[in-house]
Amino acid sequence: MRIAVLNDIHGNLPALDAVLADVRQAGVDQIVIGGDVLPGPLPRETMARLLALEIPTQFIYGNGDKAILAQLTASDPSAVTYWGTTEGVAVPEPMQELIRWTARQVSEYRDVLASWPLTTMLSIDGLGTVLFCHATPRNEIDIFTRVTPEERLLPVFAGVDASLVVCGHTHMQFDRRVGPTRVVNAGSVGMPFGTTGADWLLLGPGVELRKTRYDTVATAEQFRRTEYPMVEEFAVRYLLQPPSEEEMLTAWGQYELTP
């Protein structure tokens, strides 16, 4: 069995379509969507594409998806308390509007989003039991990177009954160990940091960190034709001039797990 893992798509349909072309060429048997399909500039179109896939597909939720669902299920929008942050506090107003806008675009998918679990597990030839999560096995908001000290992570991964854990959330690929457990970050399809293109993961019988190239300039122009809030920051900063890995390791460092 060969599994493609696509994480952190963030409504980037052109990146998704490019990756799906490579996925089909690789002859995978199944796809795992590892959270944060949303928010993003083309949310309705991205959801429709994923739900129409001819390849068997499993979904888990990320903090972004859960933030959209919180908007869709709130009886009073002013009473929403979940914004997908590690601090549990509301994001700045521009980001709130970004989440509200995305929620309006995908209201028809509320029940679909509500059905996604926190984790899923598969048995893969050559790898054994693999656990898929968005951030860590315990929640969708924990932050850690390839340089997070192992002692901080050991309690989080203790008791995990899997030889391999696949995560996402921080938009940077890595392959490391936490105690006896191999932990691989599949990276981001729609918003990779430290690099351009679209990152994903191919499993079985080995572990292959993959990158798919696509036309980011044309994609940025397509995004600018949407009404997506903060579209310039998304189109220019994250597609054409993504922050470096060094920048993001520093930025994530202030939020990452502490003992």
pLDDT at 155: 96
Give 201's pLDDT tier (boundaries 50, 70, 90): very high
* Domain regions of the chain by residue span: 3-253
Longest CA–CA span in the chain (Å) reads: 49
Angle formed by the axes of helices 13-25 and 43-51, to 10°?
20
Question: pLDDT tens, 49-96?
Answer: 999 999 999 999 999 999 999 999 998 877 898 999 977 788 899 999
Q: What number of H helices and E strands is found in the chain?
A: 9, 10
Sequential DSSP letters for 155-197: HHHTT---SEEEE-SSS--EEEEETTEEEEE---SS--SSSSS
Domain 3-253: CATH superfamily is Metallo-dependent phosphatases (3.60.21.10)
pLDDT at residue 259 in the model: 58
pLDDT tens per residue across span 28-41: 999 999 999 999 99
